[in-house]
Structures are given as structure tokens and as C-alpha cells.
Amino acid sequence: MGVKLVLVEDVQKLGESGDLVEVAAGYARNYLIPKGYAQKATPGLVKAIEARKAKERARLAALREAAIAKRGSIEALGKVIIYKQVGENDSIFGTVTNQDVADALKTLLGEEIDRREITLDDNINAIGTYGAKIRLAHEVFATIRVEVAAA
């Protein structure tokens, strides 16, 4: 018969901090509890963990709803125009980076978008229209067109 424990720290191949796990009595008695990785599951501790998890789920749901609303405002723009100096054959000086797209979105929306969450479809080094994908939250993405024009 196993022993029910609450993990205090993440344990590889067992669970994350706050998880309720059932393990062999010897594993709990000889390793997990003495090393401080877990403690015995009492009804009060289990109830506190469930309350914390419910609060975290509510917080993540609120973040997701905010991200969905933000996605609507970004996709309503349709496209972002970035002006660059042009050389021969419609090639631009330098490249358009995700930071350029983040700056353009900040100017248009008035909201900060983390450049690390923007993924460009192609290497942008010529005039034209390209795609970009913006990660707003877990599994919430916005897509937008990036138009590069001559300055």
C-alpha cells in the first residue's frame, strides 16, 4: 500500500511542487521525507493545495481571456507597415526584425508586445508583404501581415 504525500519541491519523474502523489512507503520514509522533497498529506494541507490550484487556474483563465481580447485588437489592424531605406533590386538596408514589428505594434496599439513572442515567417530583407505570428498566451496566437515599404 502506498503513502500519500504532497511534494514540496519538483521531483523528476514524480511530479511538481504542490502535487499530491502516492508512493511506496519505503521511498517516502527513506528518501522523499528526509530530503525535504515531500511531506505527509494531511486533510488541511490537501485542502490548502486545492485552493491554491483553483486560484492559479482562475488567474490563468483571466490571462487567457485578456490575451484573446488583445488578439482581436491586433488582428483588427490587419497589417503593420515598416519603412526602410531601399537599395538595388528592392532590397533593403539591413533586415526587418521582430523588434521592428514590436515597435510598430507599440506605436499602433499603445501596448507593449514582447519581441521574443513574435515569430516572422521569413527572413525579411526585401520590400514586400510577410507574415508574423505573435504568441500572446498559452495556445493563444495572433497573426498579422508585415508590409515593408520604401522610406
CA-closest candidate to residue 71, choices 2, 139, 149: 139
The model's pTM is 0.70
Return per-residue pLDDT of the chain as tens, 151 residues: 789 999 999 999 999 988 899 999 999 999 999 999 999 999 998 898 889 889 999 999 999 999 999 999 999 998 999 999 998 888 898 899 999 999 999 999 998 999 999 999 988 989 999 999 999 998 999 999 999 999 8
List the domain boundaries for the chain.
Answer: 2-61, 63-150
Phi, psi for 29 (deg, rounded to 5): -70, -40
Q: How many other CB atoms are there within 10 angstroms of residue 130's CB atom?
A: 19
Q: Give the β-pairing of 140-150 and 128-137.
A: antiparallel
The listed CATH number (3.40.5.10, 3.90.1170.40, 3.90.226.10, 3.50.50.60) that belongs to domain 2-61:
3.40.5.10
- Evaluate whether 112 touches 97 at the Cβ level (below 8 Å): no
End-to-end CA distance of the chain: 73
DSSP character for 97? Answer: -
Class of domain 63-150: alpha beta
